[in-house]
Amino acid sequence: MAAEDALLDLREVVAGYEEVEVLRGVSLAVRAGEIVSIIGANGAGKSTLLRTVFGMLRPRAGTIRFAAGEIAGLGPTEVLRRGIGYVPQGRCNFPAMSVEENLEMGAYLRRDRRVRADIEALLARFPVLATKRRDPAGTLSGGQQQILEMAISLLLHPRLLMIDEPSLGLDPRMVETVFDTILAINREGTTILMVEQNARKALSVSHRGLVLELGRNRFEGSGEALLHDPEVRQHYLGGR
């Protein structure tokens, strides 16, 4: 696709950890308003791609543009300021702090007076968090913690929200709730880039998908097209 209308545009990105090269020239364009899913085998570089965009890893080559500005080489705090949120794999950062305190921590980059109102609005929007606002976050179920993490990242009003395996460890009902939440966030205008092993579920809600293999682009297409592609089904969807 033409990159001019892309909100996030990666070109030939190479990145890795010490001697291990994980991304070997990945290109990806995400348009404003889209939900894009990255799928692929374990170790293909999916999580590394998100970490690299978020500035946790400095790309060794390639460009990463966000809202038409180069962000490759910026650190996470600056990437956050530019409007990219990130929900990493796993659970909440501050399990001993209450749900409300976790939200306050999430707003640490903000100096304005509307933080309080935004936190209240988020609690109203996610009733499951409101009923537990004074409980330690660590006592929430896995799905509730996932929703808390998404709520925290929304406090900075990101234009792009990156989520690493939103369904990890969740029971079937909670998976539905979390994906419904992602769709709702997207409908309100936040662009979503997610990594997900529940590839069928992810592709079924995505505008587009990218299949990574050994750190390179392998397939790209609409969620629907990838779900029906025989080769993708065979190699990345468990042959079903």
Give the one residue of 10, 36, 48, 209 binding other proteins; rule: CB under 8 A.
48
Helices (H) and strands (E) in the chain, counts: 10, 10
Residue 236 binds to other proteins (criterion: CB under 8 A) = yes
Give the one residue of 200, 207, 216, 218 binding other proteins; rule: CB under 8 A.
200
Residues 6+ apart with CB under 8 A from 21: 14, 15, 60, 215
Distance of CA 90 to the CA centre of its chain: 12
- In the complex with other proteins, the residue whose CB is nearer, 35 or 38, is 38
To the nearest 10°, report the CA torsion of 196, 80, 220, 88: -10
Stretch that binds other proteins, among 15-23, 96-104, 105-113, 182-190 (CB under 8 A): 15-23
- In the complex with other proteins, the residue whose CB is nearer, 25 or 90, is 90
Residue 63 binds to other proteins (criterion: CB under 8 A) = no
Rounded CA separation 46/1 (Å): 21
For residues 6 and 54, is the Cβ–Cβ distance under 8 A? no
# chain residues binding other proteins, by CB under 8 A: 35
Binding site for other proteins (CB under 8 A): 17-18, 20, 39-43, 46-48, 89-90, 141-143, 165, 168-176, 197, 199-200, 235-240
